[in-house]
Amino acid sequence: MRVRTQIILIVIAIAVVVMGVLLVRHIDGPRVVARAVAPDGTEFCVVQKCNWEFEFFTTSCFYRKPGGRWGWFYYDHEDWYWGRGRTEIDGVTKRINIIRDGHVTVTFDWESERFRLLRTDFPHRELTGPQQLMPAGWSMSQ
């Protein structure tokens, strides 16, 4: 094999390894795929974490009022990868919309803390207040 061919193969092998490491770092740990801050300071985030199993990703929604604790809502524990989601803030209805693949899949009314899951592949769900309140000091990077 010529030296030039060997060098090309080595460069390709190094590139594949580097891309693999970057991919693992990208999906390992929680990733915020959509985030919005309402005019009153309420934060709402969609977070995805790799399960490293056949069920691929767990997707959750979190919110907190200014100075408050994070609350959690279920989205999916067998989800596919989200590159990113889009958010819309409607100041008139005081609602945050989460858009995935062109469809609103979640609405969150920040005054009433009403969460609506509107996925087409899952029964619609409506809750007021978090399904779980996260411990004081909790952050999405945990």
Tens of pLDDT, residue by residue over 7-49, are 777 777 776 766 655 555 555 667 889 999 999 999 999 999 9
In which residue are the tokens 């309420």 written?
A: 42
User: For the whole model, what pTM was predicted?
Assistant: 0.78
> How many C-alpha atoms does 67 have within 13 Å on its Cβ side?
1
121 near 105, Cβ under 8 Å?
Answer: no
Amino acid found at 5:
T
Q: DSSP letter at 123? A: -
